[in-house]
Structure formats: structure tokens, C-alpha cells
Amino acid sequence: MAQRLALRRLLSLTPGAVPPQGPLAPLSRTLGTSAGCRSTFNVQDGSDFQDRVVNNPKPVVVDFHAQWCGPCKILGPRLEKMVAKQEGKVMMAKVDIDDHTDLAIEYEVSAVPTVLAMKNGDVVDKFVGIKDEDQLEAFLKKLIGA
């Protein structure tokens, strides 16, 4: 998709900047809620992924998404909500595949949304596309329990 050069430069200069989400994604609102705000984060770069996902003692679900992807905008908040319900037992990392293409390629993401379940640096489960809340809850419980 087309980008305005100035906007992208501005975002890359601001550390920890959240890439602009479409008007449909209530990401910022969800981050504001009590349990949610600490268990979901945006991956900044490759080494951040190593630190906070691969080397995380807790299990992490990784949500590979894209700005241009409609279903991602539905799945994202839904997954965050279910992650928040697990009360800190699982973390959620969000990866924008256009910003972090190397990471997406490394984990063989072809379609979005792709969600990986990671434990101790290994991919133990995965799904592609939208799931409803019950299916997400089951997915998360399996990751925590196993």
C-alpha cells in the first residue's frame, strides 16, 4: 500500500511508537484497561522479539497482523481480551508484518492473521484466520496448561 514518506520517518524516529492502526482497531483503548495493558505489547524489532518472546519464561501468543488486513482488526482485540482473561499467565506480542517482514518470513507467515503459540522459544501451536472467543480461550488454555 502507499505510504507518505514523512509520516513513516516520523514514526521511525519516535521510540516505541505504535504504527497507525485503522479507525476500526481499538488497540489503544484495550491497552488502557487494567489487566490488558501489561500482557499485550508491540514488538519493536528482532532483538526485542528475542528478549520478550523467545526468552520469555511465560508462554507468549504472537499475533502477526497487517494494517491492510480486515480480519486482523477483528481478531486482534478479541485475542487481547481473551489473553487479559488469563490474568497474566500468558503474554501477547503483536507483530506488524510490513514493519517486521524479516520476522514474518522467519516464522513462515504467508497469510494474516497468523497466531503462533510460543513456549520457551518454540512454536507449539498455530492458527491462521479468525477464531471466536471460545476457540481462542481453548487455544490459550492449551498453551498455558501444556
Binding residues vs other proteins (CB under 8 A):
1-6, 22, 66-70, 97-98, 101, 105, 110, 112
Rounded CA-CA distance 80/109 in Å is: 20
Question: Which of the following is catalytic: 60, 61, 62, 72?
Answer: 72
Bridge partners of residue 93, in order along the sequence: 41, 62
Residue 97 in 3-state DSSP?
coil
Nearer to other proteins, 2 or 16 (CB): 2
Instruction: Mark whether 37 is an active-site residue.
Output: no
* Crossing angle between the packed helical segments 133-145 and 70-85, to the nearest 10 degrees: 50
Rounded CA-CA distance 121/65 in Å is: 20
Cell triple for residue 79?
485475542
CB of 6 to other proteins, least distance (A): 5
Nearer to other proteins, 56 or 67 (CB): 67
Instruction: Mark whether 72 is an active-site residue.
Output: yes
CB of 110 to other proteins, least distance (A): 5
CB of 106 to other proteins, least distance (A): 11
Question: Which of the following is catalytic: 43, 62, 66, 69?
Answer: 69
Active centre residues (catalytic): 69, 72
